[in-house]
Copies of this chain bind each other. A is one copy, B any other.
Amino acid sequence: MKKIDVKECALLLKEFDNYLILTHRNPDGDTLGSAFALKRTLDKMGKKSFVKCVDPMHHKYSYLWNGVDNNDFTFDKIIAVDVADKKLLGESFEKEYGDNIWLCIDHHLSNREYAENLLLEDKAAAAVVIYEVICELGVEITPEIASCVYTGLATDTGCFMFSNTTPTVHRIAADVMEKGADYVNINRLMFETKSLSYLRLEQMAVSSIESYFDGKCAIMTITRKMFEESGSSSTECDGIAALPRKIEGVKIGITIRERHNGSYKVSLRTVEPYDAAKICGKLGGGGHHAAAGCEFECSLDEVKATLLEVIKAEF
């Protein structure tokens, strides 16, 4: 359990020949892009490796592993990429691999240091850390590796829109674009494609929006009926909670989502200086400054009344 730097990480990777690379559960573009960038780099070094995740990898990411041999075999060491905590491997993987992780490559402040640890916590994406490791290894960045790195950068920064985007992120994007990253298709796939059922859910959700406190607070409600009628699955609507805050003038955007058991999950998104974590803290929840959540077990009307009572004090 030692903190290591990029140089030490590169030396470690040279030591063994057969690796298992693990991503976090509910795999996103950064954990998958980083894992396959590393796998493709190890391939170029003449080593063997394969990538595994406890959950299925969405087919939209298939270009990341296109043309590589990802079959499993007897490995020497386990590497976890973009996994801040062993728990994030998912229950069965934590049980199976959790105690034997040799190396962790990550960028989360919340990292729990459960292995030899290359942690660059000021970086926007794990892909930035992987890029630095590849450069240190001196392996040529092929167009395929470039596309993997680009995917991590672009997805973790909302296509360079979120506040975690740094000059370094833009410079690495420029470099991997020059090295052949298929950014036009990746951007279309990641940011421009929505399912019709998701669009229908969004439409129903928008029609539910209510405005309070002179438009400074907006509440959007997503019922189980909307999921059923639109045919949308909950997995494809992770981003929908960002919607109410996008409305002009809204400082506190609230999304109330009805759960299967009749309880309600509430997501808050705020604009400076409003503190989502503080507000949700008063309601038994928590989170970050700009994004937090809490839960309720009561009627929808009671959920709204309770929220509005707490938020009233903010304005």
Q: Who on chain B is nearest to A189 by CB?
A: B248
Encode contact with B along A138-174: 1 for CB under 8 Å, 0 otherwise: 0000000000000000000001111101111011011
A209 in contact (CB, < 8 A): yes
Asked if A161 meets B191 with Cβ closer than 8 Å, knowing A167-B174, A170-B174, the reply is: yes
Task: Determine chain A's interface SS by DSSP, over half rule.
Answer: helix
Asked if A203 meets B207 with Cβ closer than 8 Å, knowing A159-B159, A161-B159, the reply is: yes
A1 in contact (CB, < 8 A): no
Among the 9-residue stretches A67-75, A100-108, A193-201, the one with 4 or more Cβ atoms under 8 Å from chain B is A193-201
Residue of B174, B195, B247 touching A168 (CB-CB under 8 A): B174
In this complex, which of A170, A184, A202, A215 has the most chain B Cβ atoms within 10 angstroms of its Cβ?
A: A170
Contacts of A161 in B (CB 8 A): 159, 187, 191-192
Q: How far is the CB of A157 from chain B (nearest CB, A)?
A: 9
B248:A194 contact, CB within 8 angstroms: yes
In this complex, which of A187, A193, A196 has the most chain B Cβ atoms within 10 angstroms of its Cβ?
A: A196
- In the bound complex, what is the Cα–Cα distance between A171 and B245 (angstroms)? 30
Contacts of A177 in B (CB 8 A): 165-167, 170
Asked if A247 meets B195 with Cβ closer than 8 Å, knowing A167-B177, A170-B173, A206-B202, the reply is: yes
A183 in contact (CB, < 8 A): yes
Task: Indicate the size class of the contact surface on chain A.
Answer: 35 or more
A5 in contact (CB, < 8 A): no
A194:B247 contact, CB within 8 angstroms: yes
- In the bound complex, what is the Cα–Cα distance between A161 and B196 (angstroms)? 21
Contacts of A245 in B (CB 8 A): 192
Q: Who on chain B is nearest to A248 by CB?
A: B195
Top-10 shortest CB links A-B: A167-B174, A170-B174, A170-B170, A203-B206, A160-B160, A163-B184, A203-B203, A170-B173, A195-B248, A159-B161
A interface list, Cβ under 8 A from B: 159-163, 165-168, 170-171, 173-175, 177-178, 183-184, 187-188, 191-196, 199-200, 202-203, 206-207, 209, 211, 215, 218, 242-243, 245-248, 271
Q: 26 A-B Cβ contacts within 8 A?
A: A159-B159, A159-B160, A160-B160, A161-B187, A163-B184, A165-B183, A167-B173, A167-B175, A167-B177, A170-B171, A170-B173, A171-B174, A192-B242, A193-B248, A194-B246, A194-B247, A196-B209, A196-B211, A196-B218, A196-B248, A199-B206, A199-B246, A200-B206, A200-B207, A202-B206, A203-B207
